[in-house]
Amino acid sequence: MQSAAEKIRVGNEAQAAAQAALAAAGWEVIDLNKLAKNFRFVDLLAKQDSTRLFVQVKGTTTSEGKFGALPERAEGLDSLADHLDAIALYALVHLTPDGPVIRFGHAQQVASLAAKRIADYHGKLRYHLYITDFTYEATDLAEFVE
């Protein structure tokens, strides 16, 4: 089990990687956690023309690229984004020795997949998603979110 300091390090590294990937793909990115210490549902706001993305970043260092995600949180992000005319996404960042692997998925997709995996498992399930569940990269987002 990760220490609190390790969780913070992984989270910060994952968020920085997602922010850099979005910026490199032409998105203007605002780190919402810097504005208000820690937002509950969203880490980054990315803007390109009239499109706004609310991005929740999840980081992992597991060898299989496993992530914990709660359906309720993903649904909350989706609802918030919908009310503010934005698109809700998750950035899944697998921190590997060769560098970060970053994939994006819609919050509804994350909620649905996590809920299904929780329902199918009859024990304590810590990880609900895998990096391989998602294919979109930051360079694909303009097409992905249309």
- Taking the model in full, what pTM does it have? 0.92
* Residues facing residue 99 across a β-bridge: 96
Which of the four pLDDT bands, split at 50, 70 and 90, describes residue 126?
confident
Vertex 28, ends 25 and 40: CA angle to 5°? 110
Q: Mind listing the pLDDT tens digit for each residue in 94-119? A: 999 999 999 999 999 999 999 998 88
- pLDDT of residue 1 exceeding 70: no
For position 130, what pLDDT does the model report? 93
For position 6, what pLDDT does the model report? 86
Select from 3.40.1350.10, 3.60.20.10, 3.20.20.100, 2.60.40.10 the CATH code of 4-144: 3.40.1350.10
For position 65, what pLDDT does the model report? 93
Contact assessment for residue 27 and residue 61, using Cβ atoms and an 8 Å cutoff: no
- Average pLDDT of every residue of the chain: 91
Percent of the chain residues topping a pLDDT of 90 = 73
For position 8, what pLDDT does the model report? 87
DSSP string computed for 58-101: EEE--TT-EE---HHHHHHHHHHHHHTT-EEEEEEEEEETTEEE
Which of the four pLDDT bands, split at 50, 70 and 90, describes residue 23?
very high
Helix %, strand %, coil % of the chain (to 5): 40, 30, 30
Which of the four pLDDT bands, split at 50, 70 and 90, describes residue 37?
confident
